[in-house]
Amino acid sequence: MEKLLEEYRFGYQLLRMAIDGLSEEALRFKPEANKWSIHQILIHVADSELVSTQRMKKVLSEEAPLLMSFDQDAWADTLEYEKLDREQHLHLFNLLRSSMLPILEQLPAQKWERVGIYADAGPFTLKQLLEYRVEHVWGHLAQIASVREAYQQSKI
Protein backbone atom coordinates (compact mmCIF):
# COMPACT_ATOMS: atom_id res chain seq x y z
CA MET A 1 0.00 0.00 0.00
CA GLU A 2 2.86 2.33 0.73
CA LYS A 3 4.08 2.32 -2.90
CA LEU A 4 0.53 2.78 -4.18
CA LEU A 5 -0.07 5.75 -1.89
CA GLU A 6 3.26 7.25 -2.93
CA GLU A 7 2.29 7.05 -6.60
CA TYR A 8 -1.10 8.58 -5.77
CA ARG A 9 0.63 11.39 -3.87
CA PHE A 10 2.84 12.36 -6.82
CA GLY A 11 0.18 12.36 -9.54
CA TYR A 12 -0.04 16.15 -9.62
CA GLN A 13 3.73 16.60 -9.93
CA LEU A 14 3.84 14.05 -12.74
CA LEU A 15 1.15 15.93 -14.66
CA ARG A 16 3.02 19.20 -14.14
CA MET A 17 6.28 17.68 -15.38
CA ALA A 18 4.49 16.27 -18.45
CA ILE A 19 3.44 19.74 -19.60
CA ASP A 20 6.49 21.67 -18.46
CA GLY A 21 7.70 24.04 -21.15
CA LEU A 22 4.81 23.47 -23.55
CA SER A 23 3.41 26.44 -25.42
CA GLU A 24 -0.29 27.18 -25.48
CA GLU A 25 -0.28 26.06 -29.11
CA ALA A 26 1.19 22.69 -28.11
CA LEU A 27 -1.29 22.32 -25.24
CA ARG A 28 -4.23 22.99 -27.58
CA PHE A 29 -2.96 20.85 -30.47
CA LYS A 30 -5.24 17.95 -31.45
CA PRO A 31 -3.48 15.09 -33.27
CA GLU A 32 -6.78 14.25 -35.02
CA ALA A 33 -10.18 15.90 -35.11
CA ASN A 34 -11.71 13.25 -32.83
CA LYS A 35 -8.77 13.13 -30.38
CA TRP A 36 -8.26 15.24 -27.28
CA SER A 37 -5.68 17.98 -26.90
CA ILE A 38 -3.39 17.96 -23.86
CA HIS A 39 -5.54 20.76 -22.47
CA GLN A 40 -8.65 18.55 -22.74
CA ILE A 41 -6.81 15.57 -21.26
CA LEU A 42 -5.89 17.62 -18.19
CA ILE A 43 -9.46 18.82 -17.69
CA HIS A 44 -10.67 15.22 -18.03
CA VAL A 45 -8.14 13.98 -15.47
CA ALA A 46 -9.40 16.57 -12.96
CA ASP A 47 -13.06 15.76 -13.64
CA SER A 48 -12.35 12.06 -13.30
CA GLU A 49 -10.57 12.70 -10.01
CA LEU A 50 -13.58 14.64 -8.74
CA VAL A 51 -15.93 11.77 -9.49
CA SER A 52 -13.51 9.13 -8.20
CA THR A 53 -12.84 10.92 -4.93
CA GLN A 54 -16.57 10.87 -4.28
CA ARG A 55 -16.66 7.15 -5.11
CA MET A 56 -13.86 6.35 -2.66
CA LYS A 57 -15.59 8.34 0.09
CA LYS A 58 -18.84 6.47 -0.58
CA VAL A 59 -17.06 3.13 -0.31
CA LEU A 60 -15.47 4.17 2.98
CA SER A 61 -18.68 5.58 4.44
CA GLU A 62 -21.54 3.42 3.13
CA GLU A 63 -22.22 -0.30 2.94
CA ALA A 64 -21.71 -1.61 -0.61
CA PRO A 65 -22.78 1.66 -2.28
CA LEU A 66 -23.79 1.89 -5.90
CA LEU A 67 -21.05 3.56 -7.97
CA MET A 68 -21.88 5.24 -11.24
CA SER A 69 -19.68 5.58 -14.32
CA PHE A 70 -19.75 8.74 -16.42
CA ASP A 71 -19.56 9.39 -20.14
CA GLN A 72 -16.21 11.14 -20.47
CA ASP A 73 -16.78 12.19 -24.07
CA ALA A 74 -20.15 13.72 -23.22
CA TRP A 75 -18.53 15.66 -20.39
CA ALA A 76 -15.75 16.91 -22.68
CA ASP A 77 -18.21 17.98 -25.36
CA THR A 78 -21.08 19.31 -23.26
CA LEU A 79 -18.90 21.10 -20.72
CA GLU A 80 -16.75 22.48 -23.57
CA TYR A 81 -13.40 21.51 -22.11
CA GLU A 82 -11.63 23.75 -24.61
CA LYS A 83 -13.16 26.81 -22.90
CA LEU A 84 -12.36 25.77 -19.32
CA ASP A 85 -9.47 27.00 -17.20
CA ARG A 86 -6.73 24.37 -17.22
CA GLU A 87 -4.93 25.84 -14.21
CA GLN A 88 -8.11 25.76 -12.11
CA HIS A 89 -8.59 22.12 -12.99
CA LEU A 90 -4.99 21.22 -12.21
CA HIS A 91 -5.40 23.00 -8.89
CA LEU A 92 -8.63 21.06 -8.27
CA PHE A 93 -6.84 17.79 -9.01
CA ASN A 94 -4.11 18.70 -6.54
CA LEU A 95 -6.63 19.70 -3.86
CA LEU A 96 -8.63 16.51 -4.28
CA ARG A 97 -5.57 14.31 -3.95
CA SER A 98 -4.07 16.25 -1.05
CA SER A 99 -7.41 16.21 0.80
CA MET A 100 -7.88 12.48 0.27
CA LEU A 101 -4.34 11.43 1.25
CA PRO A 102 -4.71 11.93 5.03
CA ILE A 103 -7.84 9.78 4.94
CA LEU A 104 -6.16 7.01 2.97
CA GLU A 105 -2.88 7.06 4.87
CA GLN A 106 -4.50 6.28 8.21
CA LEU A 107 -6.75 3.43 7.06
CA PRO A 108 -6.44 0.06 8.76
CA ALA A 109 -5.86 -2.90 6.41
CA GLN A 110 -9.46 -4.17 6.54
CA LYS A 111 -10.83 -0.85 5.19
CA TRP A 112 -9.02 -1.42 1.87
CA GLU A 113 -11.33 -4.38 1.25
CA ARG A 114 -14.54 -2.34 1.53
CA VAL A 115 -16.59 -2.67 -1.66
CA GLY A 116 -18.58 -0.42 -3.94
CA ILE A 117 -20.62 -1.80 -6.81
CA TYR A 118 -20.63 -0.34 -10.30
CA ALA A 119 -23.95 -0.82 -12.09
CA ASP A 120 -22.03 -1.60 -15.30
CA ALA A 121 -18.93 -3.42 -13.96
CA GLY A 122 -19.73 -5.08 -10.64
CA PRO A 123 -17.88 -4.89 -7.31
CA PHE A 124 -14.62 -3.00 -6.72
CA THR A 125 -12.66 -2.76 -3.49
CA LEU A 126 -11.32 0.53 -2.22
CA LYS A 127 -7.83 -0.74 -3.02
CA GLN A 128 -8.88 -1.43 -6.62
CA LEU A 129 -10.38 2.06 -6.89
CA LEU A 130 -7.11 3.59 -5.70
CA GLU A 131 -5.09 1.41 -8.08
CA TYR A 132 -7.27 2.66 -10.90
CA ARG A 133 -6.64 6.30 -9.86
CA VAL A 134 -2.91 5.72 -10.15
CA GLU A 135 -3.23 3.81 -13.44
CA HIS A 136 -5.52 6.51 -14.81
CA VAL A 137 -2.85 9.19 -14.41
CA TRP A 138 -0.15 6.93 -15.89
CA GLY A 139 -2.38 6.20 -18.89
CA HIS A 140 -3.00 9.87 -19.52
CA LEU A 141 0.68 10.70 -19.08
CA ALA A 142 1.37 8.29 -21.94
CA GLN A 143 -1.41 9.97 -23.95
CA ILE A 144 0.12 13.40 -23.25
CA ALA A 145 3.52 12.14 -24.42
CA SER A 146 1.90 10.83 -27.60
CA VAL A 147 0.18 14.17 -28.32
CA ARG A 148 3.44 16.03 -27.60
CA GLU A 149 5.19 13.80 -30.14
CA ALA A 150 2.44 14.33 -32.73
CA TYR A 151 2.70 18.10 -32.19
CA GLN A 152 6.48 18.00 -32.69
CA GLN A 153 6.06 15.91 -35.85
CA SER A 154 3.51 18.41 -37.19
CA LYS A 155 6.17 21.13 -36.96
CA ILE A 156 8.72 19.27 -39.10
Domain CATH number, residue 24? 1.20.120.450
Look up residue 149 and give its amino acid: E
- Please report the DSSP string for 62-108 in residue order: SSS-EE----HHHHHHHTTGGGS-HHHHHHHHHHHHHHHHHHHHT--
How many domains in the chain?
A: 1
pLDDT at 155: 87
Phi, psi values for residue 66, rounded to 5°: -80, 130
Of residues 79, 99, 65, 2, the one with CA closest to residue 36: 79
- Which element (helix H / strand E) includes 148? helix 126-154
pLDDT at 156: 83
pLDDT at 24: 97
Report how far apart, in Å, the C-alpha atoms of 103 and of each of 11, 38, 59, 99, 149 are: 17, 30, 13, 8, 38
Report how far apart, in Å, the C-alpha atoms of 147 and of each of 9, 43, 112, 134 are: 25, 15, 35, 20
Phi, psi values for residue 30, rounded to 5°: -110, 120
Q: Is 38 helix (H, G, I), strand (E, B) or coil?
A: helix
Query: pTM (2 decimals)?
Result: 0.94
Q: How far apart are CA 57 and CA 89, in angstroms?
A: 20
Q: Could you give the dihedral angle defined by the CA atoms of residues 21, 44, 123 and 109, in that order, rounded to the nearest 10 degrees? A: 40
Domain that holds residue 111: 2-154
Q: How far apart are CA 18 and CA 29, in angstroms?
A: 15
pLDDT at 1: 87
| Mean pLDDT in order along the chain per 10 residues (156 residues) | 95 98 97 96 98 97 95 95 97 98 96 95 96 97 97 91
pLDDT at 122: 94
